[in-house]
Structure 1
Amino acid sequence: MSKKMTEYLGIGLGIGVVVGVAASIWYRKKATVDANLVLEKVKKSFLEEGPIEGAWIQYHQEPLQKFALKTKVYLGGITRLEDDEMIQYEFVADAYTGSVLDIYRLEN
């Protein structure tokens, strides 16, 4: 192999590595947590305080902007029996991290 071909091969491999690393970083920034994993995390937290009757999560991500923060979120809910009354909670979870951003009790 000639010296020129070796140089071109080295440059090509270098560019390939840079593009691969950049694509990996971009993908991690754009990758979201599976909605089922988010729901399981929330259910696990509620189960620490007692049984739950039902749970749901919306698989479609919704955009959320609060002041300068822009993200995508999952909406979901938990139903449980408290003091012989069925109580519903809804939650908002960040789709990129799975972190619960808000949870609130629905009034009957």
Structure 2
Amino acid sequence: MVKWDRTAFLIGAAAGAAAAFLIQKQTSESMNVPPEKVLKKVKDTFKQNGPVDGSWIQMKPEQIDRNGFPALVYKGGISRPGETGNEQFEFSADAKTGTLLHVQPV
């Protein structure tokens, strides 16, 4: 009877470890970059061309259609001093990678 208990325990432990591995893999693949990190990355990109006065980002990503493919993006904005006053831009960045996808002057 002791041998069966040990075998059942080992089977249960192996099944639990396999389930934990699969759950961890799936959740890590579906996680988004935090919006604060995305905003910092965008600001750093803008700072290569001069100072940034202000910035904002939506905390919840949006689903958009990008060239026929769905994409989850954060939308935000940047303002910086320009030659004729303050320049403002809107941007969208990929929520999974933080990559800047689109910038548009406002």
- When normalised by structure 2's length, the TM-score is 0.89
Name the aligned partner's letter for residue 76 of structure 2.
G
Percent identity of the aligned residues? 32
Tell me the residue number matched to 2:83.
83
Unaligned runs of 5+ in 1: none
* Amino acid corresponding to residue 84 of structure 1 in structure 2: T
SS in structure 1 opposite 2:63?
Answer: strand
Residues 16 and 92 (structure 1 numbering): CA distance in 2 closer, same or farther, change over 3 Å?
same
Match of 2:6 in 1: 6
Q: Tell me which residue corresponds to 1:43.
A: 43
Tell me, what secondary structure is at the counterpart of 1:52? coil
Q: Which residue of 2 aligns with 1:105?
A: 105
Aligned residue for 1:86, secondary structure, equals strand
Q: Which runs of 4+ in 1 moved over 3 A?
A: none
Aligned Cα root-mean-square deviation (Å): 1.5
Shift in Å, 1:81: 1.4
TM-score of the superposed pair, with normalisation by structure 1: 0.88
For 1:9, give the aligned amino acid: F
Where 1:51 maps in the other structure, the secondary structure is coil
Unmatched 5+ stretches in structure 2: none
